[in-house]
Structure 1
Amino acid sequence: MNPRHAGSGTLLVTVFVFPGVRLLDVTGPIEVFTSANEFGGRYRLQLVSADGGEVTTAAGTRLGVDAAVDQVRGTSDVLVVPGGPGWDRLIKDDALLDHVRTLHARSCRTASVCTGAFLLAAAGLLDGRRATTHWRNADELALRFPAVRVEPDAIFVEDGTVVTSAGVSAGIDLSLALVEEHFGGEVARSVAKDMVVFMQRPGGQSQFSARARAPHTRQDALRRVLDAVAEAPGADHTLSAMARRASLSSRHVTRLFHDEVGVTPARYVEQVRLEAAVSMLESGDDPMAVVARRTGFGSPESLRRAFVRQLGVTPGAYRAGFRTTGAVSATG
């Protein structure tokens, strides 16, 4: 992001809210910008709804609003468009999409949080742009809006004056990046420390995505191979072993994987093994050598390379960061 001189004065952040909005999509960015004011930032925030009335979030919390869309005057430095679980209904609301377009036209920068990207896409604001959204919805965004170049693993994506972020808490990451752009790294780092969050979290959304499931296939021979990999990830799953199991040639097995699974046999085996390793790291304290051996990676170094390549973090960092919140029992 291009830096903006900190001497430019107070910056206006407008957050567009609507019935059914996800609460953290709204409050996460608000906390970042208001916290920045304690460390040298200069932000003024306003919540805007279609008619200026309060809205009820998806969590049932009521949010007070500062103005209606048609009461907004001047130019906002940042427009935040959050998402909500009812995004599929919202993208059919022409009046709401008109409000998004109006606010976007009056803003220097438009930022979406989570499924807020669907609102931007439905309003035509992401056509020809790179964008991201929650990993669970990335395929749907690409399917519904083919003019958008979806980057499913990114925490946030900047393309011109539009920035989109991944699921829920990624709005905090995006907002910290904007604070750094506006007022420098020292202010942003102070906010991150105050909020006890990463200044820049390791890895991408692949860390959080659901476990891949064995793909559907009508080919009995391939089904036997897929089942064998899923049942025993640490077993011998070389191409020749798969061919023997399927009673087919190695070339035929490779072609079946290409046609039915969409990846090479080796890539599929690595994916299944990686998921098995993730499960072990989340649920136990086995040494890395044991995890690597049982899941078929052989050595901790091979396990580490696969984690870094596919998830963007080391196995140790994954175990430390995603097995537990770090909460300690207060009993006794």
Structure 2
Amino acid sequence: MVTVSVIMPIYNVADELGKSIQSLLDQTYKDFELILVNDGSTDSSGHICDEFQKKDSRIIVIHQENVGSGFARNAGLDQASGEYIYFSDPDDYVETLLIEENVKIALENQANMVVFGYYFEEINPKGKIKKTRELPTLSVLTTKEDFRKSFRAFQTLDSNVLWNKLYKHGYLLENNCRFTDQRVGQDALFNHLVYRDLESVYFNQTPYYHYVSRFGSAINRYHPDRFLLEYNIAEHFEKLLVYWQQEQSYRDLISLAYWRTLYVELSNLVLEDCPINDYQKEQHMASILNHPKIQETLFSLNSGLKKKYHIYLLILLLKNARYLQVLKVMRVKIQFSKNYHYAFNALKKITGT
């Protein structure tokens, strides 16, 4: 048994994989295992994993057919022997003190979860890098009640993602925290399970993870089922708050979650590789607006959405079925933001999701 099991799902990331793996092997803390799950890669990613395994006995390689990153992480969890679990993505990299300093916090406090800061690196089409730091604002939440009452502040540091959190393995097992087969947003669904009865959460105001956003990544491409996937995430988020009996306190966050679902789909429709024409897009938007929760979000007087001018404009146009104008606004917004991921990142800042 080791102190930490690091789990990395891998699919066709040969260009970035070596740097990512090496940054983990260079950790100052040595008592960990690195579980590389090659999820049916068709490039040289699997070979890279095998070559690293030959050089370091801490590495475990799993080769499997492509089933998605969620089930790949489940395969890693099934193999993991560590007291703590850390999930890292194969196209990012980490600071050398990540494991040592966060494990120290976890062990000293028997924490169920440690949350730390990260660097957000945007790489534009010309290769220029823009780097910002994102840090927690909280310090320690020892009880379920503390965590639930502080959830609004907790959300400001990407509560949905995995890679800025260290999880206690026993807690995940006791609460049956597993990943679904949803191709987009499975990290959010996993964390919703983690948060149901979470207590003993500690925060580290130091950045360790480098989240790298590259132009042309999967999030910049059209997904025909994107709305349904995002809607499922919003529904599970609402169920979490209902379980806490905090749905009234966080009514605005629920509205924002459903608005995010709609906004992401509007962005999806104006991506360059979207294959449907404007008439079909109008019909699609009309059908989306029939969803009860979307209706409730748009027409609620208490959603708080109208504070942002471009959101207010979109809501006004949607309410009046001015769908072609909605598309024009979104195209301008996306062009202004240079690519979809930048727009999505701006949305996260607005919604705290």
Superposed pair shares fold, TM > 0.5: no
Flag the structure with more relative contact order, 1 or 2, with Cα contacts below 8 A and sequence separation at least 6.
2
Would you tell me which structure has more strand in proportion to its own residues? 2
TM-score (norm 2): 0.32
Higher radius of gyration, 1 or 2: 1
TM-score (norm 1): 0.33
